[in-house]
């Protein structure tokens, strides 16, 4: 594998973070990027660490910036970004899976968000819905965006990066 220059690494990372913020902002414009019902199309990008190591910190920074821009409380900014970071690290660790099983690399994002986001919504925002209802709605959004969208993105990008 070729050594990557630090300038290329930083540039790609910045582009990934900016794209995550832009896509999340578009979802936010129609009320789908935060709250009990979350449909962040940008979560599909959590498959990018399979191809690019710089995507791991970029997704973390992009999520943190998105939550800040959306007016999230400090706990949402920290723990929401942490969920994305865990998902990105998980995808990076699973990068050597056979192509037919690459959808498994999307599961760390789903699981991290299922475990972290509902308590954040309950405790940081005082959401009164039941934990399992929030887990269900967040899970459906993550399943659609991170798992289905991430798998589709993987198959679109695999010819470019491999």
Q: Please, what are the domains in the chain?
A: 6-161 (1.10.1760.20)
Rounded Cα distance, 27 and 69, in Å:
13
Q: Which two tokens stand for residue 102?
A: 């690459």
Q: How many CB atoms lie within 10 A of CB 159?
A: 7
User: pLDDT truncated to tens, each residue of the chain (162 aa)?
Assistant: 456 688 999 999 999 999 999 999 998 888 777 777 788 999 999 999 999 999 999 999 999 999 999 888 999 999 999 999 999 999 999 999 999 999 999 999 999 999 999 999 999 888 887 889 999 999 999 999 999 999 999 999 998 886
Instruction: Please name the residues in contact with 137: beta carbons below 8 A apart, sequence gap of 6 or more.
Output: 36, 37, 38
Q: How many CB atoms lie within 10 A of CB 115?
A: 13
């Amino acid at each position: 594998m070729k050594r990557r220059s630090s300038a290329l690494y930083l540039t790609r990372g910045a582009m990934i973070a900016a794209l995550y913020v832009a896509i999340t902002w578009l979802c936010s414009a129609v009320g789908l990027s935060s709250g009990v019902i979350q449909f962040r199309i940008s979560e599909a990008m959590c498959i990018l660490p399979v191809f690019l190591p710089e995507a791991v910190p970029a997704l973390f920074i992009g999520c943190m910036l998105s939550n800040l821009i959306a007016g999230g409380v400090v706990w949402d900014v920290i723990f929401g970004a942490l969920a994305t970071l865990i998902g990105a690290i998980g995808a990076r660790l699973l990068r050597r899976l056979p192509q037919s099983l690459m959808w498994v690399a999307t599961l760390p994002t789903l699981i991290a968000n299922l475990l972290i986001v509902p308590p954040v919504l309950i405790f940081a925002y005082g959401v009164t819905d039941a934990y399992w209802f929030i887990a269900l709605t967040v899970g459906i959004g993550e399943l659609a965006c991170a798992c289905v969208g991430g798998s589709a993105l993987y198959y679109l990008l695999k010819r470019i990066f491999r």
